[in-house]
Amino acid sequence: MKKYISILLVIVTFSFAKAQDIQFVNAENGLVIREKPNQGARRLGMLDYGTAIEITEHTNLMLDVIDNGKKLSGEWVKIRSIDAFETFDEGYVFNGFLTEEKLQKRFKTKYKAFTVSMEGISEKKSIKDVINPNFDAVLIYKLKEDEALNNKIVRVKHHQEFRSIQVFQKHENSIAISDNASHCDLINWKHYYSSWKPLKTISSNHRFESLPISEKQASRFIEVDIEKLKTEVNETCGESWSNSIKDISSVNDFPASVKLSKLFFRIVMTDIDGNKIEKLIIFEVPLNTETKDDSYAKL
């Protein structure tokens, strides 16, 4: 009899494990977790957009919330963390900001003075400086081949009083050589750098819109001695690649081309005392990505 009870318990436990009510946070500015199911309860933390959680209990304590002029109706639910990076175990949230649709967590990097996040770009780990691993004034990230930063919303959430927040953008172009089967990228040779341009503020909540980059802007380059280019290609990629460009007269003659290789975002916060806090975020763009025509800005 004990053996059958044990088997039954295993089956029931397995059924519960498979029946988890997993939902995702779709609150643009994050969702507050409370210790108890009411708005005056102690805050346990904040869940980012796209965070996956498990609903463990419905309270039937109903709540209406006004968000951007729209009324959201729902209830308090008890949730459990299923993300290893979250700092809470259980708590309560308003389920009007939850969805069953699987959402991707956004890119976010947190500093002492502010947090920067971007819509449409997945979360990433920075490439650490081996010599100064805790140095965060300049952080480097790699974009995926299907990710682009044209006209993306950049959010800067401040953690202290301040006078102003500004965000600037520029880009780097590099030379790439491709025969459609493989490629030779000169990422450590010469580059073209655009000038810094300020991003437009699109709301009072410190949201900015990244700048579009046209095909013309992405193909601009500095003046280059073609013979020196051929020598560099021979030393970097080998004789066969050097032979493939022996007849070119410019950096945009096939199989050579100029491609967008890095995007830079400079965030400048002026604190309440007039001191400036600057951080630089660099995104590396894969040079082997076949850029679609519609991904360029039509300028």
- What CATH number did the domain enclosing 42 receive? 2.30.30.40
- Do both 258 and 274 map to the same domain? yes
- Do both 77 and 111 map to the same domain? no
The answer to whether 251 and 189 are in contact (CB under 8 A) is no
- Do both 53 and 93 map to the same domain? yes
pLDDT for position 80: 92
pLDDT for position 16: 45
- Do both 142 and 219 map to the same domain? yes
Across the strands, what pairs with 266?
168, 280
pLDDT for position 66: 87
DSSP 48: P
Domain count, the chain: 2
DSSP 221-234: -----HHHHHHHHH
pLDDT for position 3: 53
Final residue of a domain: which of 99, 125, 158? Answer: 99
Residue 280: which of 297, 262, 296 has the closest Cα? 262
- The span from the CA of 9 to the CA of 106, in Å, is 39
pLDDT for position 293: 41
Tokens at residue 57, please?
A: 């209990």
The answer to whether 197 and 169 are in contact (CB under 8 A) is yes
Residue 265: which of 156, 133, 159 has the closest Cα? 156
pLDDT for position 87: 67
pLDDT for position 85: 61
Any residues with CB less than 8 A from the CB of 238 and at least 6 apart, and which? none
Task: Supply φ then ψ for residue 16, to 5 degrees.
Answer: -65, -40
Final residue of a domain: which of 47, 71, 99? Answer: 99
Final residue of a domain: which of 99, 124, 142? Answer: 99
* Mean pLDDT computed over every residue of the chain: 85
- Do both 143 and 78 map to the same domain? no
- Do both 90 and 113 map to the same domain? no
Task: Supply φ then ψ for residue 145, to 5 degrees.
Answer: -65, -25
Q: Which domain holds residue 71?
A: 2-99
- Do both 49 and 128 map to the same domain? no
Find tokens 């050589």 and name the residue: 177
- Do both 25 and 54 map to the same domain? yes
- Do both 143 and 237 map to the same domain? yes
- The span from the CA of 41 to the CA of 34, in Å, is 6
- The span from the CA of 191 to the CA of 85, in Å, is 38
- Do both 87 and 112 map to the same domain? no
pLDDT digits (tens, 9 = 90+) for 169-228: 999 999 988 877 788 888 889 999 999 999 999 876 689 999 999 999 999 999 999 999
pLDDT for position 29: 78
Residue 165: which of 112, 106, 116, 108 has the closest Cα? 116
Q: Which residues of the chain have pLDDT under 70?
A: 1-19, 84-87, 128-134, 204-205, 288-299
Size (the chain), residues: 299
- Do both 203 and 280 map to the same domain? yes
pLDDT for position 226: 92
- Do both 141 and 71 map to the same domain? no
